[in-house]
Structure 1
Amino acid sequence: MKKIVCFVAILMSSLYNYAQSDPLVEDGLLKVNALLPGVSYELGVGNRTSLNLEGIIGFALRGASDVETEYGIYPGLAAEFRYYNNLDRRLGKGKNISGNTGNYFGFLNQYQFGTPIIGDLDYASNFYYNAGLVYGLQRTYTKGFYFSLSFGPGVFVNEYETVGGLLLDARLGWVIGGRKK
């Protein structure tokens, strides 16, 4: 019995060490988004996988010549699991992969509240939820400037209906502290 426990312990520690060796994705990228104001944190959870967590602020304005102008600022949350599929190929061509620069497959979840935290423009629904399987790319440049674009089939849910469609997500901003590698 002691031999089995010892063997399992050695096997598990060697697998742990192998899993921790040479991760291709960076761990702990803090990003500030400019297109849709917010902050995101990309956490490396594997050799080629990451979890991107994001807090965003949306803005809406409605008004016309004979209508009172209304506005609202709405908080939102997003979480995306990413699998970067072309990092080895980029390295083989001598290209940059720092800042998780690469193409990825992902599962994107977005939630936005329908009631504003500031303003008087109430949406018809109290919440909006989007989920989709996406293909995307992310590029991070020397000074920390980055952009990300992803798209794929999605499901859009509010308290009244559920519909399918094309999910498109674009980000533009800066990695705080620049690229790490």
Structure 2
Amino acid sequence: MKKNYLFLLLSVLFVNAIQAQDEAPRAVAKNQFKINLLLPGFVYEHGFDAKNTLYSEVSLGFGFSANSNSSNFAVFPNINEQFRHYYNLEKRADKGKRTARNSGNFLALNAVYNFESISTNVDYREAVPSFTVAALWGLQRTYKGRFNLEFNAGPGVNFDEYDTEFTPVVNFTLGWVIGK
């Protein structure tokens, strides 16, 4: 009878030890590299502490505008920097949800610089460089196989050669986390 209790106790400890190894991380990844597919680009996200990261992206942006006389399609390189605060990693981990590779919700301060267009219609308003700052709410999910989905949105202000205007900022990306 004592052997059965001992066996049961050791079994429970063994199962708990295995589950503890699979427990979801409660902190952001120290270094994370991604490749984005929709707007082709590369991302590096550096974790400063348990909840804060600096997100740096270099990618291509696409734009289209039209009026009654002509239309313009623009392709432009851009740099996107965000200071992110992941606020729900503990809550997700407690519910048994995935938090690996910064899978969580965040608030961010965003700054984007769009370079001059490398493809534009000169008969239409030229696509000039611009700078946008915004406050964002977003979510990032990295699934098994390292498939990554990200969405963020919020109000922003855009500055360019012609004017300064309030603008909605919306970003949706699909890609893969690379490296460890």
Range class of TM-score, shorter chain = 0.7 to 0.9
Instruction: Indicate the SS of the match to 1:143.
Output: helix
Which residue in 2 is equivalent to 1:4?
A: none
Name the amino acid aligned to 1:83.
H
- After TM superposition, list the pairs within 5 Å mapping 1:105-124 onto structure 2: 105-116=107-118, 119=119, 121=121, 124=126
Residue number among 162, 170, 173 corresponding to 1:171 in the alignment? 173
Residue number among 26, 33, 39 corresponding to 1:30 in the alignment? 33
Deviation at 1:46, TM superposition (A): 1.3
> In percent, how many aligned pairs have the same letter?
33
CA distance in 2, matches of 1:70, 1:106: 31
Name the amino acid aligned to 2:168.
L
Deviations 1:131-179 (A, max 9, x none): 11111000000101111111111111111111113211111111113xx
Residue number among 40, 45, 49 corresponding to 1:46 in the alignment? 49
Name the amino acid aligned to 1:40.
V
In structure 2, the CA distance between the partners of 1:169 and 1:72, relative to structure 1 (3 Å rule), is closer
Q: Report the TM-score, using the length of structure 1 for normalisation.
A: 0.75
In structure 2, the CA distance between the partners of 1:130 and 1:70, relative to structure 1 (3 Å rule), is closer
Residue number among 77, 83, 86 corresponding to 2:85 in the alignment? 83
- Quick check: 1:57 aligned with 2:65? no
CA distance in 2, matches of 1:121, 1:59: 14
- Gapped regions of structure 1 (runs ≥ 5): 1-21
CA distance in 2, matches of 1:104, 1:88: 13
Alpha carbons 1:125, 1:159 under 8 Å: kept: no
Which residue in 2 is equivalent to 1:101?
A: 103
Name the amino acid aligned to 1:176.
I
In structure 2, the CA distance between the partners of 1:45 and 1:121, relative to structure 1 (3 Å rule), is farther
* Larger of the two Rg values belongs to structure: 2
CA distance in 2, matches of 1:167, 1:72: 18
Which residue in 2 is equivalent to 1:14?
A: none
Alpha carbons 1:125, 1:158 under 8 Å: kept: no
Which residue in 2 is equivalent to 1:7?
A: none
Alpha carbons 1:125, 1:160 under 8 Å: kept: no
Which residue in 2 is equivalent to 1:162?
A: 164
Name the amino acid aligned to 2:137.
Y
Instruction: Indicate the SS of the match to 2:100.
Output: coil
RMSD of Structure 2 on Structure 1 (CA): 2.4
CA distance in 2, matches of 1:62, 1:160: 16
CA distance in 1, matches of 2:87, 2:170: 19
Which residue in 1 is equivalent to 2:137?
A: 135
CA distance in 1, matches of 2:98, 2:80: 27
